[in-house]
């Protein structure tokens, strides 16, 4: 099929759809919906069999949907309509939710249905971004493949939306307003967590904190502490602990309601207002667990962004883990594995270039610990998407295991950076110099199956994230007990010694940093503007060059999720 993907941004879901459709043999082009004229012209050039919109905030122009079959992927079950579907589903604790593929017509979300999927909602309120990137994205990718198949079936007719049908259980919901996102710290913890997570990662819950209006993100239930609601009781690793009506809640990130303010770790955003709060255990982004043979360093950084401080703590945790008497070290990421340096923290710094320099050096130290470990075999567990330096960080291990739904973006070009994280060593070592050059220059995403095929990853596993992590741990336990373990470890040491004699790691690091210094301090490739556009979510004016230049059909142009890091 000739398919045009029309989207508001080339986000994680759109990337997955693009990858899956191409892998199935379809001819696929992408266009960003920057204007009605751009959308119409893209369809006229592409002459697609079907236009699919996996992530589209804008209304489809009538000229387009009347001339071309256009299918919208809506994040709600059949009959659900409106722009705040996931927000309401979380806030109202829906037990089941879904995704529907429907044909574009004049009335929004009211067209005939091409297909749908439903799934059980988690019992605990999920973050909206986690829901979107998890079960919603999984269902949407399945539906997009189904739509492509049905578009090739001349006998297929979509089913008109009929609220009398037992399958149609949704309804029209209005757009959420500011008032719907406001909360008081006097409310129960459970209510606060649900309201904030219904607005995470955008636009955030609205409240007063330290007598300042803020947007609140990234919250977790805290201990049952007595105290005045709204008062900061403690802080830990960038988060602050706030008293609620019946206990407390950890707040990981906030954005001040000020012009130009960006989302930051809560303690950084509030600064001197919480500087006197005591440190308190109970919140940690990094943990270490072990059995007899396997040690696991787990890290879960919000949206995969890694600040200077977070990188230093992770490097310290890795040094501790490497010093233990375990045989295998598992390096496990969270909802997002890693997307590299923390662009929001950099943008908000008094000296952004200096902060960027410290950040890249700190993440390099993490990569160095993984590559140089010689006392254990190292396995990286990539259960969530990764980009830029986050991909390179994972490649330093002996075994790279990836979840089947993961999308990797192993490049830096779109942020105007040469890149570091020892990528000039670890990437060619896995895929060869020619493929490494292609991946970094084309700046396109790679799906899990393709990553295994080209050697970027060693093994792909399916299942939920928890199932995936369990299976990786079982693999690590088998590796630790393998009769050939000592031979494998000796092989790792020998390869590292040979590589070090050929060219020391410090030489790769120095060469990369020489390039990065020009990108960061001289801004030779537009890092400053690219960073600003990413952090402040500036609307694209055209389909990016690296996507528009990748043409596949009739001259049609080819084309991150909410986050604070470099995708």
413-456: pLDDT as tens digits: 999 999 999 999 999 999 999 999 999 999 999 999 999 999 99
Residue 146, H or E segment: helix 137-151
Question: CA-to-CA distance for 32 and 38, rounded, in angstroms?
Answer: 8
At 229, the pLDDT band (50, 70, 90 cuts) reads very high
Give the model confidence (pLDDT) of 65-120 as tens digits.
999 999 999 999 999 999 999 999 999 999 999 999 999 999 988 999 999 999 99
pLDDT in tens, 37-63: 999 999 999 999 999 999 999 999 999
Tell me the mean pLDDT in the region 234-261: 97
Q: What is the DSSP string of 484-540?
A: THHHHHHHHHHHHHHHHHHS-HHHHHHHHHHHHHHHHHS-TT-HHHHHHHHHTTPPP
| Region 173-193 average pLDDT | 97
Measured in degrees and rounded to the nearest 5, phi and psi for residue 458 equal -95, -30
| Surface-to-core class of residue 31, CB atoms within 10 Å of its CB (0-12 exposed, 13-18 middle, 19+ buried) | buried
Cα dihedral 115/121/122/124 (nearest 10): 150
Tally the residues of the chain.
567
Q: What's the whole-number mean pLDDT along residues 468-495?
A: 97
pLDDT grade, residue 559 (50/70/90)?
very low
From CA 140, how far away is CA 158, in angstroms rounded? 17
Q: What is the mean pLDDT of the chain?
A: 94
N-terminal to C-terminal alpha carbon distance within the chain: 29
Residue 84 DSSP label: T
Tens of pLDDT along 115-130?
A: 999 999 999 999 999 9
């Amino acid at each position: 099929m000739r398919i045009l993907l029309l989207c508001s941004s080339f986000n994680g879901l759109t990337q997955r759809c693009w990858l899956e459709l191409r892998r199935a043999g379809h001819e696929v082009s992408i266009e960003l919906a920057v204007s009605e004229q751009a959308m119409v012209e893209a369809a006229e050039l592409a002459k697609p069999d079907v236009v699919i919109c996996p992530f589209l905030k804008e209304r489809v122009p009538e000229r387009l949907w009347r001339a071309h079959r256009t299918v919208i992927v809506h994040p709600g079950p059949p009959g659900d309509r409106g722009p705040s579907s996931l927000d309401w589903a979380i806030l109202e604790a829906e037990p089941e939710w879904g995704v529907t593929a429907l044909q574009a017509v004049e009335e929004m979300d009211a067209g005939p249905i091409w297909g749908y999927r439903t799934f059980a909602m988690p019992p605990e309120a999920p973050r909206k971004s986690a829901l979107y990137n998890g079960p919603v994205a999984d269902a949407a990718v399945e539906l997009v493949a189904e739509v492509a198949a049905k578009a090739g079936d001349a006998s297929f007719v979509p089913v008109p939306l009929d609220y009398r049908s037992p399958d149609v259980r949704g309804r029209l919901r209005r757009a959420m307003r500011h008032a719907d996102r406001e909360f008081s710290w006097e409310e129960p913890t459970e209510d606060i967590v649900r309201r904030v997570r219904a607005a995470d990662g955008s636009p955030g819950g609205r409240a007063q904190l330290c007598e300042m209006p803020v947007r609140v993100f990234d919250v977790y239930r805290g201990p049952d502490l007595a105290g005045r609601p709204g008062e900061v009781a403690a802080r830990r690793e960038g988060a602050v602990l706030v008293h609620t009506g019946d206990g407390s809640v950890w707040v990981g990130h906030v954005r001040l309601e000020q012009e130009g303010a960006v989302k930051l770790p809560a303690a950084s955003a509030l600064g001197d207002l919480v500087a006197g709060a005591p440190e308190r255990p109970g919140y940690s982004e990094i943990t270490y667990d072990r059995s007899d043979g396997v040690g696991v360093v787990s890290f879960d950084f919000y949206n995969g962004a890694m600040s200077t401080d977070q990188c230093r703590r992770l490097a310290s945790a890795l040094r501790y883990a490497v010093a233990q008497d375990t045989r295998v070290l598992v390096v496990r990421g969270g909802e997002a594995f890693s997307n590299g340096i923390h662009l929001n923290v950099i943008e908000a710094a008094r000296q952004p270039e200096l902060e960027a320099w410290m950040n890249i050096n700190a993440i390099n130290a993490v990569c160095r610990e993984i590559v140089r470990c010689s006392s254990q075999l190292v396995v990286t567990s990539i259960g969530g998407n990764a980009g830029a330096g986050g991909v390179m960080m994972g490649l330093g291990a002996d075994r790279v295991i990836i979840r089947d739904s993961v999308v990797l973006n192993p490049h830096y070009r779109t942020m105007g950076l040469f890149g570091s994280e020892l990528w000039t060593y670890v990437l060619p070592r896995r895929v060869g110099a020619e493929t490494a050059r292609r991946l970094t220059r084309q700046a396109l995403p790679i799906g899990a199956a393709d990553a295994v095929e080209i050697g970027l990853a060693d093994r792909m596993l399916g299942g939920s994230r928890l199932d995936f992590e369990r299976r990786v741990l079982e693999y690590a336990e088998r590796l630790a007990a393998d009769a050939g373990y000592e031979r494998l470890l000796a092989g790792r040491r020998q390869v590292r010694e040979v590589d070090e004699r050929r060219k020391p790691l410090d030489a790769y690091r120095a060469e990369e940093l020489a390039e990065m210094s020009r990108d960061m301090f001289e801004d030779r490739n537009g890092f400053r503007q690219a960073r600003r556009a990413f952090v402040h979510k500036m609307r694209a004016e055209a389909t990016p060059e690296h996507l528009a230049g990748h043409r596949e059909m009739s001259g049609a142009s080819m084309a991150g999720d909410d986050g604070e890091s470099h995708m």
